[in-house]
């Protein structure tokens, strides 16, 4: 089967996670993605020690996960020859993707208008922390600070008595990359139909707000966060501790319609017709005291059985539930492997097999590429320069003067 984006040429000048993740989607689906790095390499190559993972050219899993199936070229964009190589790449590209701050791109003569001057139909996709307008437009933005903290998630997604949570790095970036990729593909679709390129942009702040939409909207109606774990708005959509000190979540949005069914499944038959809990007040919410009482009843019941026992009971009753697992357990999830959500990557240098998360989209009529891990900075420079019709002498000269690596 063919790849859905065969024949699409993409140039990436990106760092960290959002842009490399977005172009990973495109690369897996067949686009020819060329990633430009400065001679010292992009910063995400160097984060391994913070997460106890290797950081060598051969085994750098955090970097290699984001950048599989791309070709890497090392270019010094502060040199005249380096900029000339960049312009040759852009001249034949359908899409240029970057999260380098716009002021820096403009100083290098690589802004949208500059690039459009020699590639009128280019799709110029630029990602920012805070958007292109306003007082914070030039501020540096990162996953934890901009996506999580400023969207209200880091402070309000916890129990009211808890310290704000700190997610592993890159989660908000990865989620945001999906929205950014959607915009790029919409622009590509329009280009195929009209021949016109466009400037596409998104941001961590915008996506953090978008993904937190339910909380932000409901908070404006008085649904205050953070909440106590004893004050679930819906006791059937809540987390409970089980016997053995592990947790389970049940997810039943229709409390009124499913109240009797859930009570009977959990062996709480004596509460089926208890109007303190079976009915809600005219605002559609429980009275606070009744709410806390019923959560206590549910807590006590869940503590009578293990997480696994409750999952069996609730699954048999067709009640949505799930164990709260640890990240170390996720690579053993057979359901994920059965659906191709992981790829096994073997690293010869360490002999370690690592479960790499795969792009979670598949097609019936098209295939996706298996992961091809990138190597050192500029590992594909010579091959790409040959594609651009540079001679061996020109390549050697630019390598010597530091324009390429």
| Phi and psi at residue 30, to the nearest 5° | 110, -5
Rama region for 243: left / alpha / beta (φ>0; ψ in -120 to 50; rest): beta
Using alpha carbons, list the distances in angstroms from residue 8 to 122, 190, 303.
12, 14, 55
- The catalytic site residues sit at 173
| Cis ω before 226 (30° cut-off from 0) | yes
Q: Return the DSSP state at 376.
A: S
20 in Cβ contact with 69 (< 8 Å): no
DSSP SS3 for 180: helix
Which residues are CB-contacts of 370 (< 8 A; sequence separation ≥ 6)? 343
123 — phi, psi (to 5°)?
-95, 110
Structure tokens at 23: 């172009």
Residues forming beta bridges with residue 322, ordered by sequence position: 249
Provide φ and ψ at 62, rounded to 5°. -65, -40
Round to the nearest angstrom and report the end-to-end CA distance of the chain. 35
CA angle 342, 58, 369 (to 5 degrees): 40
CA distance 144 to 46: 18
Cα–Cα distance measured from residue 378 to residue 393, given in angstroms and rounded to the nearest whole number = 18
The three-class DSSP label of residue 19 is helix
């Amino acid at each position: 089967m063919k790849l859905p984006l065969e024949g699409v040429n993409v140039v990436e000048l990106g760092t960290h996670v959002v842009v490399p993740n977005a172009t990973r989607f495109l690369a897996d689906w067949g686009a020819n993605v060329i990633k430009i790095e400065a001679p010292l390499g992009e910063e995400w190559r160097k984060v391994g020690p913070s997460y106890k993972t290797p950081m060598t050219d051969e085994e750098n899993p955090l970097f290699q996960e984001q950048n599989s199936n791309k070709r890497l070229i090392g270019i010094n964009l502060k040199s005249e020859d380096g900029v000339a190589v960049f312009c040759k790449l852009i001249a034949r590209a359908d899409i240029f993707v970057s999260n380098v701050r716009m002021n820096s791109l403009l100083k290098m003569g690589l802004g949208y208008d500059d690039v459009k001057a020699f590639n009128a139909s280019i799709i110029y996709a630029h990602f920012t922390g805070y958007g292109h307008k306003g007082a914070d437009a030039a501020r540096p933005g990162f996953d934890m600070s901009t996506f999580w903290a400023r969207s209200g998630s880091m402070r309000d997604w916890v129990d009211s008595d808890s310290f704000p949570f700190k997610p592993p790095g890159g989660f908000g970036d990865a989620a945001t990359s999906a929205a950014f990729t959607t915009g790029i593909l919409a622009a590509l679709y329009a280009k195929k139909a009209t021949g016109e390129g466009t400037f596409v942009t998104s941001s961590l702040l915008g996506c953090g707000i978008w993904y937190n939409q339910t909380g932000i909207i409901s908070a404006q109606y008085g649904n205050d966060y953070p909440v106590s774990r004893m004050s679930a708005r819906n006791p059937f959509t809540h987390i409970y501790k089980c016997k053995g000190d592990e947790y389970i979540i049940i997810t039943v949005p229709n409390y009124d319609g499913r109240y009797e069914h859930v009570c009977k499944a959990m062996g709480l038959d004596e509460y089926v017709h208890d109007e303190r809990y079976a009915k809600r007040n005219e605002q559609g919410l429980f009275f606070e005291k009744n709410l806390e009482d019923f959560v206590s009843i549910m807590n006590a019941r869940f503590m009578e059985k293990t997480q696994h026992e409750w999952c069996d009971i609730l699954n048999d009753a067709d009640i949505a539930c799930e164990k709260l697992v640890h990240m170390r357990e996720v690579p053993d999830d057979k359901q994920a492997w059965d659906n191709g959500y992981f790829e096994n990557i073997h690293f010869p240098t360490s002999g370690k097999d690592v479960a790499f998360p795969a792009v979670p989209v598949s097609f019936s009529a098209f295939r996706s590429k298996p992961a091809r891990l990138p190597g050192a900075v500029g590992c594909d420079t010579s091959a790409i320069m040959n594609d651009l019709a540079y001679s061996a002498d020109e390549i050697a000269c630019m390598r010597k003067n530091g324009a390429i690596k």
